[in-house]
Structure 1
Amino acid sequence: MRAFAAAIVAALFLLLPIAAQAQTAADILSGNRELVEKSSRQTIGPVIAALAASGDPQAAVILSAWADKGLGIRKSDGAFFLITATATGYALKTPDGAGAGQAARADITELRPNAGVRGLIAAALVQFRLSDPNRSTRLAALTAIARDASPDHLAPLRASISGEADPAIRAQKQRIERLLTLRFDPDSAARVAAIESFAGDLGLDLRGALNPLLATTRIATTGPAPAGANLARDLRPGTDLSEDEAYALLVSVGLAPARLSRADLKAALIANIQDGAVAGTPVAALNTPEARDRAYTALETAGRVPPAATDAEVKAAIAAHRFHAVYAEPDAAVTTAAKAVLDGIETRLAAMQAADLALDALSLASIYFLAAIGLAITFGVMRVINMAHGEFIMLGAYTGYVVQLFITNYTLSILVALPLAFAVTFAAGVAMERLVIRHLSKRPLETLLATFGISIALQQLAKNIFGTQARPLTAPSWLDGALVFNDIVGISYIRIAIFVLALAFLCVFLWLMKRTRLGLEVRAVTQNPGMAASMGINPDRINMLTFGLGSGIAGIAGVAIGLFAKVTSELGSDYIVQSFMTVVVGGVGNIWGALAGAAMIGTLQKGIEWLNPSNTLAAQTWMILFIILFIQFRPRGIIALRGRAAGD
């Protein structure tokens, strides 16, 4: 008791200078020179706290210098100085910031605080940085706290909130304060209130703060869980944990001996053979695992082998003990609140993940629709299996690349590239129809082989002109980034632009087909070419224009796809299979069918990829198998076309 009283008196004596001196940083240093000079984490805390609470603007400068080994004591008189190393010694400043000349290195004792003292100083500096006039300094302090929070940060953070004038920083401070409260506040009710205030929040920082509160450790007991333990759940060996894990837990806490391996058992029995028997059991009788276990137990009882558990003893030990998962957080109210909030978060996360998956599917469907719309027109009207359709997509992408070589303004270049790609691929489509397709009318196999050959030729031509290296097609700066709704749901602006472009083409196509003479003639030829010819419509002309129109739309799709995909000679081959699947599944020759097919295939592909994210090739395979099954039951597609496509 006398020693304890003496320690209290000594501590009070050490603190007297802090209370007695004026509230300036220089006076606090001078009054506690011995503590500062021989500082340690156990003794220096009151001095650092007094500096932080002094209200002296120089306190932050002194603390920063101290942490960075920029504080020294002159040996001759014990005066403190802010020191800066020079070639000949130190440049000196008084704690008030006034210049004090030069000093030799031998005249100054440089203070070198250890890691513990630097940690106390860093915590004290938080309040200065959180209230610094410079906005970036305050943000940097908040970032540092969020990255590596400690209980020491809570009080200065709370103190800085009321004086914060910036609404954004104030909101950030309030959020971080609640995160620190739920982790470090000694008041259970305050922690629970902070946790409940985050109900419905999906922030990653919140989940990072709540998950440690629900971390559990496994314990083994001979009865109920220890009194005062915050029990998460009872564990059943064989269900919640394996028997090996259960017994290893018993061994780790000293409730059971180490398990006996088969090799150790055999070696122990061999080493203890005496007169043809082991512990009274003839060697010939040790022909079963049970007999060998009994022999080892007898040796163990006789003290001839170290204690170890046989298989039977392992099972008995597991059955005789109980296993529990116990929260590392001792406060049950805190863990209950944290679990409730996290359960709500998981529910909302599932909904958000479903929404994000739906956005991805919608984005992919718009790409497939844009790629397939031209094929839907040519395949529906002419019944031509155009294997070179993907190469028209590739030609459109390369057209956009060439345009950007001459027009460096990316927005203007895209505006020029879209109609130019249409014109280039429209002309290529018309030329193909006039030179090849027309001469293979009603011969689908020859048409397929011919267009496949043209596809290979166009790919090789692109390689000869542009090389095999991927070429950039750069999107305008206003398409950079993504529209982010929260940490889970987001979609890139490029994909939004492609979705809008697909909608625009849908509207243009519907107008063309429903409101123009060309559309009327195309619909007539699609449904009954013979009757259309008898009414004065030239089916050959319609076929040519239709093929050119479908090819031109593929070129525009190529520009759009090239904004996020690599522009190479194989670009089109990546989309030709999906384009055909879109047309066949949706319904040949029907724009609404193409839209429905694109939506179905995009959703199906994203769904399969979500179920098996590590293997995209498997996703493609499963999708094709599903489509094969689908067309067995609905061979004409989702929306069947009446007329020639229906077999009339």
Structure 2
Amino acid sequence: MRSVLSCLLAAFVLLCALPLRADTVAEILAANSALVEKASRQTIAPVIDALVASNDPVAAAVLAAWADKALGIRKSDRAIFLITDQDGGFALRDLTGAAAGLAAKSDIIVLKPNAGVRGMIATALVQFTLSDPDPAKRKAALDSVAKDPKPEALVPLRASIPGEGDPSLMAQKQRLEQLLTLRFDADSAARVAAINGFGADIGLDLRAALNPLLATTRLATATQPDASLNIARTLQLDRDLTQAEAYEMLVAAGLAPARLTLEAQRAALVANLADGVVGGVALADLNTQAARDRAYTAMEVAGTVPPAATDDEVTAALAAHKFYDVYVEADPAVTAAALVALGSIGTKVAGMQAADLALDALSLASIYFLAAIGLAITFGVMGVINMAHGEFITIGAYTGYVVQLFVPDYTISILIAVPAAFAVTFGAGVAMERLVIRHLYKRPLETLLATFGISIALQQILKNVFGTQARPLTSPAWLDGAWVLNDVVSISYIRIAIFVLALIFLTFFLWLMKRTRLGLEVRAVTQNPTMAASMGINPDRINMLTFGIGSGIAGIAGVAIGLFAKVTSELGTDYIVQSFMTVVVGGVGNIWGTLAGAMMIGGLQKVIEFLNPSNTLAAQTYMILFIILFIQFRPRGIIALRGRAAGD
């Protein structure tokens, strides 16, 4: 007897272990044809879920046909077919794809799912394409799941991971599986492990998955909240929410009547006034708000007026209730892990934002340094306030544009444009120095007025030649895009190229001034022009070459700036003020001072813009005010220069 029972038990266990047979697609559709015919988002989800769970090999094709309006019901017997337009009617195929004859269009009800149902079908189809042989389809399916994550995608995604042969898609699937696990897995420990498994990751997709776990709703209750609720915090009146907001919560929850307005109260009292008494209060006594509230409350008790809360009733109701923020996520372990993870991410993101701000400041400082280095040479060595310096920047940018008209290869054209811009602006600078500047030495105000007039004249000439429309100075393809370190820190390749160019010019200037005869003569003229002349150095020639070199460097800066800025006749005016500020703050005539000034101004501007991003004009104003204050305490700049340029 005992052996018979053992055999029966073993047979029962074996029977239970066998897979249960799922309905076929044809059976599911036949049983739900009415729902399928009039499908809506509210009713069709169980049918689509059953089709996906059927494991029928035709399920994917049938769902795709349904979404494409290629599925129809024959009116005579309610049979469902795949349909194709043919000869004014429909060619029918059964759900396995076998031909099933022809039918007139009047005999077929074409299933036309609305946009909502098509979206549900698309989500269901994703689960089939996660293991599609075509990598492009698998990638599209993963992107679709990532864009609209759903709990039902977790199981098929996990099932597709072991068979994935593409390393890139494997990594994407594993990451997406973790993201779906932390949101939708039924096992609390698995969700917490998934959250902790991301470690130092700060990806946007991770933050997008964690933030919904900490979403809250507000609860008002007169009793202790349900123990099953995951309370985020207890709200304090007049700190976390106003009394008006709190009472609105009570009204919305049906815990208190709407607040009584003074107008409604007055109207009710007047309407119920009889024999000089209303609500048991004499008319003569209704001269205080407390008396009017008492009369209205008495009418509420008598049922004469609808319930409404007077001020004292509002105060009492607020005192009788407590208010809470409650997590939508019910599992405290999950929300605790999410809080820790987001706190850690917040700290890292703040550090990354600081690094990104520093890179932006360094990039802007490089631009200002390039724009100012030529001015530092002319202003520092010669003491000439050249207001036309910005126009030399513009001429350099236009030179690059003209070169690109004749050399369509952008890489080669930029390589040609840099020396060409230097040559053109060097020549223009020498001509300006010979014709105007050399007659105005030691007369700074007249120099300022003369160069300002030249600046206006050059702008008008450029407008006449190139027009008022912005001209394109296109960067090579290898400068497109940005160097992206993570979701927070990135810098464009053009800015990196300008930074490298600034370093090259810093090196060139140091070599020129320290290692060449011209540099030695320039330094001699800078320190003491009379003594330099007595030693056989021609100060007039040195001034001409120095002015030409400063103007030439401005032209090269124009090519660099034109790669990301609009090339117009006013291009230089956008940088002339910053260039002068850079030179003055850094220290007139000192290359290291110019570099320090560019770093200070670039960093200061970016910090102010970060603190006040909606008002760039205010950022410029604050920056100028800061520089004015700085000069009051250090009038010769960060690195002061001895000699004529320093005010000898």
TM-score, normalised relative to structure 1: 0.91
Matches within 5 A, 1:496-535: 496-535=496-535
Other structure's SS at 1:162 match: coil
Aligned counterpart, 1:579: 579
Aligned counterpart, 2:51: 48
What is the deviation of 1:177?
Answer: 1.2
CA gap of 1:81–1:584, structure 2 versus 1, over 3 A, is same
Q: Indicate yes or no: 2:31 matched with 1:28.
A: no
In 2, Cα distance between equivalents of 1:245 and 1:539 = 78
AA aligned to 1:204 is L
Decide whether the 8 Å contact of 1:44 with 1:117 is kept in 2: no
Aligned counterpart, 1:340: 340
Aligned counterpart, 1:373: 373
CA gap of 1:290–1:354, structure 2 versus 1, over 3 A, is same
Q: Indicate yes or no: 2:150 matched with 1:172.
A: no
In 2, Cα distance between equivalents of 1:73 and 1:102 = 13
Aligned counterpart, 1:444: 444
Decide whether the 8 Å contact of 1:48 with 1:121 is kept in 2: no
Decide whether the 8 Å contact of 2:234 with 2:325 is kept in 1: yes
What is the deviation of 1:166?
Answer: 0.4
CA gap of 1:112–1:553, structure 2 versus 1, over 3 A, is closer
Aligned counterpart, 1:462: 462
CA gap of 1:61–1:542, structure 2 versus 1, over 3 A, is same
Other structure's SS at 1:564 match: coil
In 2, Cα distance between equivalents of 1:94 and 1:222 = 62
In 2, Cα distance between equivalents of 1:405 and 1:45 = 60
Decide whether the 8 Å contact of 1:48 with 1:120 is kept in 2: no
In 1, Cα distance between equivalents of 2:598 and 2:157 = 53
CA gap of 1:309–1:62, structure 2 versus 1, over 3 A, is closer
In 2, Cα distance between equivalents of 1:471 and 1:207 = 42
Decide whether the 8 Å contact of 1:472 with 1:566 is kept in 2: yes
AA aligned to 1:493 is Y
Decide whether the 8 Å contact of 1:381 with 1:525 is kept in 2: yes
In 2, Cα distance between equivalents of 1:82 and 1:333 = 49
AA aligned to 2:435 is L
AA aligned to 2:547 is F
Aligned counterpart, 2:397: 397
CA gap of 1:415–1:104, structure 2 versus 1, over 3 A, is same
1:128-155 Cα shifts (integer Å, max 9, x gaps): 2111111111111111111122221111
What is the deviation of 1:213?
Answer: 1.0
Aligned counterpart, 2:205: 205
1:220-259 Cα shifts (integer Å, max 9, x gaps): 1224332211000010010001111011111111222211
1:511-547 Cα shifts (integer Å, max 9, x gaps): 0000001111111111111211121111111111111
Q: Indicate yes or no: 2:544 matched with 1:541.
A: no
Aligned counterpart, 2:629: 629
Decide whether the 8 Å contact of 1:39 with 1:113 is kept in 2: no
CA gap of 1:236–1:426, structure 2 versus 1, over 3 A, is same
In 2, Cα distance between equivalents of 1:345 and 1:443 = 60
What is the deviation of 1:423?
Answer: 0.7
CA gap of 1:214–1:455, structure 2 versus 1, over 3 A, is same
What is the deviation of 1:613?
Answer: 0.3
CA gap of 1:300–1:47, structure 2 versus 1, over 3 A, is closer
Aligned counterpart, 2:383: 383
Aligned counterpart, 2:126: 126
CA gap of 1:317–1:124, structure 2 versus 1, over 3 A, is closer
Other structure's SS at 1:198 match: coil
AA aligned to 2:24 is I
In 2, Cα distance between equivalents of 1:142 and 1:600 = 47
Aligned counterpart, 2:361: 361
In 1, Cα distance between equivalents of 2:129 and 2:163 = 13
Decide whether the 8 Å contact of 2:30 with 2:79 is kept in 1: no
Aligned counterpart, 1:589: 589
Decide whether the 8 Å contact of 2:586 with 2:594 is kept in 1: yes
AA aligned to 1:559 is V
AA aligned to 1:469 is Q
Aligned counterpart, 1:553: 553
Other structure's SS at 2:24 match: helix
In 2, Cα distance between equivalents of 1:145 and 1:518 = 67
Aligned counterpart, 2:244: 244
1:598-623 Cα shifts (integer Å, max 9, x gaps): 00000000000000000000000000
In 1, Cα distance between equivalents of 2:368 and 2:204 = 33
Decide whether the 8 Å contact of 2:587 with 2:641 is kept in 1: yes
In 2, Cα distance between equivalents of 1:637 and 1:578 = 15
1:152-193 Cα shifts (integer Å, max 9, x gaps): 111111111110100111111111111111121111111111
In 2, Cα distance between equivalents of 1:103 and 1:272 = 76
AA aligned to 2:487 is D
In 2, Cα distance between equivalents of 1:286 and 1:129 = 76
1:28-77 Cα shifts (integer Å, max 9, x gaps): 345556315345647646851454x24x3x44223322443323466778
Aligned counterpart, 2:427: 427
In 2, Cα distance between equivalents of 1:42 and 1:474 = 53
In 1, Cα distance between equivalents of 2:451 and 2:457 = 10
In 1, Cα distance between equivalents of 2:163 and 2:637 = 66
Aligned counterpart, 1:563: 563
Other structure's SS at 2:92 match: strand
Matches within 5 A, 1:488-503: 488-503=488-503
Aligned counterpart, 1:148: 148
Question: Which is worse superposed, 238-247 or 92-101?
Answer: 92-101
In 2, Cα distance between equivalents of 1:353 and 1:542 = 47
Matches within 5 A, 1:413-424: 413-424=413-424
What is the deviation of 1:281?
Answer: 4.8
In 2, Cα distance between equivalents of 1:326 and 1:388 = 65
Other structure's SS at 1:103 match: strand
What is the deviation of 1:116?
Answer: 8.7
Other structure's SS at 2:227 match: coil
What is the deviation of 1:291?
Answer: 4.3
What is the deviation of 1:483?
Answer: 0.6
Other structure's SS at 2:621 match: helix
Decide whether the 8 Å contact of 1:29 with 1:36 is kept in 2: no
Question: Which is worse superposed, 465-474 or 33-42?
Answer: 33-42
Decide whether the 8 Å contact of 2:237 with 2:246 is kept in 1: yes
Decide whether the 8 Å contact of 1:219 with 1:325 is kept in 2: yes
Decide whether the 8 Å contact of 1:474 with 1:563 is kept in 2: yes
CA gap of 1:166–1:510, structure 2 versus 1, over 3 A, is same
Root-mean-square deviation (CA, aligned residues, Å) is 2.5
AA aligned to 2:507 is C
What is the deviation of 1:292?
Answer: 3.7
In 2, Cα distance between equivalents of 1:59 and 1:322 = 53
Question: Which is worse superposed, 473-482 or 72-81?
Answer: 72-81
CA gap of 1:310–1:124, structure 2 versus 1, over 3 A, is closer
What is the deviation of 1:78?
Answer: 7.6
In 2, Cα distance between equivalents of 1:467 and 1:63 = 60
Other structure's SS at 1:486 match: coil
In 2, Cα distance between equivalents of 1:300 and 1:106 = 66
Aligned counterpart, 1:3: none
CA gap of 1:119–1:589, structure 2 versus 1, over 3 A, is closer
In 2, Cα distance between equivalents of 1:444 and 1:304 = 91
Q: Percent identity?
A: 71
In 2, Cα distance between equivalents of 1:636 and 1:347 = 40
CA gap of 1:558–1:96, structure 2 versus 1, over 3 A, is same
Q: Indicate yes or no: 2:202 matched with 1:193.
A: no
| Structure 1, unpaired ranges of 5+ | 1-17
Other structure's SS at 1:165 match: coil
Aligned counterpart, 1:474: 474
Question: Which is worse superposed, 483-492 or 31-40?
Answer: 31-40
Question: Which is worse superposed, 447-456 or 302-311?
Answer: 302-311
